Amino acid sequence: MRLVADAGLWTSGPVPQPVPLTTVLEVAGAVLSWTVDEPDGAAHIAFTDVVRADWLWRVVGEGGHSALVAAVADAPVAGVIDLPGVEIATGALAPLRRLALGHWLRRWWPGSQRDGIAELDAALLDGELALRTAAAEDYLGDDTFDSEVTALLHPAALHRWARDGDPRAAELARACVELGEDLGVAATEPEAAPVRRRADYALAAGAGADRRAEAIASGVSSLRWAAVPPGVFDAAEHTVDWRIEATGSAVRAVVRTELSGPASPDGIAVRVTSGPVAGAGVLDAAGAATVELFDDGRAALTESAAWNHDWRDTSVGVGADVDEPQQVRDRVRDFARDRLRRPAPDAFLAEILAAESDY
């Protein structure tokens, strides 16, 4: 094993890939990461406190654990430390990699009706992740970000699966209910909240639209996944529609996004830029925003100036301002489609059921 100093931490080398291509898991004293679509790739380890990483003997042996701790305990975090003979046992981190994959599925699975990538059942995914997290408590400790189990248990949805679902899902749901009872999570079935579908949002987005104004220009943009929360938007490309309209003395951009999932887009930031013309606003609960535009950041854009403006370089950003190439998203979509076509040995039940329903 070779340790390399990086940003004040001892690590096993460079981080595999940027998000959303990397799965991440915080364990006691370290953060583990893997490239999501490279099943045979080595784990990247960044030690936050090697003394607290008392699980190391399980993956490098007792001798390797002692050698690693002794090598870094008093060493300044700089340069490189070679540890000959210290190697991670084959397959020793497989359960942790699967946990990291489960968290990745919660955040980055590219569910899309437009692309034909089935959504994963969130309650089943979270439930299985809760069971696997509880089984890995010797690695996670009590105060790591990924050690929380109770937040992954959803009694109402799990009760419905236990009562009416597929036998595999029912068995998993019953195990989750038992785990919840052990942890003090309410086992009663509360009244279920109404489920909203993408079609509901589409109707909501179109119902109040004012189409009387003539469009000065229009176009489409794509969401950056790292810029927005999960469970809100359809993950396809070109799901952000925009129009430039003049109403009275105001010129505005009307932005509409395509939604998919239970979470609300209400309050998510929107930015419209086109050369010196810019404006900012927020989405409403239907995924729409009306953004007043200003010329050179100061004066309100006039209708005559809008008609004379070249809108071909218009950019509409939703959420945080991040750089994320489309090639990264395409690679994630390919990974998801492969898992639906041929469920992998590490597939979660939510993936298997999605694959079986994808016909």
Give whole-number Cα distances, 264 to 193, 233, 267, 319, in Å.
14, 9, 9, 13
Confidence at residue 202, expressed as pLDDT on a 0 to 100 scale: 40
Q: Is 297 helix (H, G, I), strand (E, B) or coil?
A: coil
For position 115, what pLDDT does the model report? 95
Q: Give me the residues paired with residue 23 across strands.
A: 34
Q: How confident is the model at residue 187 (pLDDT cuts 50, 70, 90)?
A: low
Mean pLDDT over 331-349 rounds to: 96
pLDDT of 188 strictly over 70: no
Q: Give 250-269 as a 3 state SS string.
A: EEEEEEEECECCCCCCCCCE
User: Could you tell me the CA-to-CA distances from 208 to 145, 221, 271, 282, 318 in Å, in that order?
Assistant: 42, 22, 22, 17, 21
Give the pLDDT mean for 75-97.
Answer: 91
CA distance 154 to 281: 34
| Kind and range of the H or E run holding 127 | helix 122-135
Quote the mean pLDDT of the chain.
89
Separation in Å, CA 355 to CA 7, 166, 344: 41, 14, 11
Question: What are the tens digits of pLDDT across the range 34-44?
Answer: 999 998 889 99
Reported as a pLDDT band with limits 50, 70 and 90, residue 132 is very high
Whether pLDDT at 203 is above 50: no
**Whole-prediction pTM value?**
0.89
Q: Strand ranges (DSSP E) for 232-305?
A: 240-247, 250-257, 269-274, 277-282, 288-292, 294-295, 299-300
**Average pLDDT in the 314-325 region?**
96
Query: What is the model's pLDDT at position 196?
Result: 42
225-256 tens-digit pLDDT: 999 999 999 999 999 999 999 988 899 999 99
Which pLDDT score, from 0 to 100, does residue 186 have?
64
Sign of CA pseudo-dihedral 352, 354, 355, 359: positive
The pLDDT value recorded for residue 68 is 93
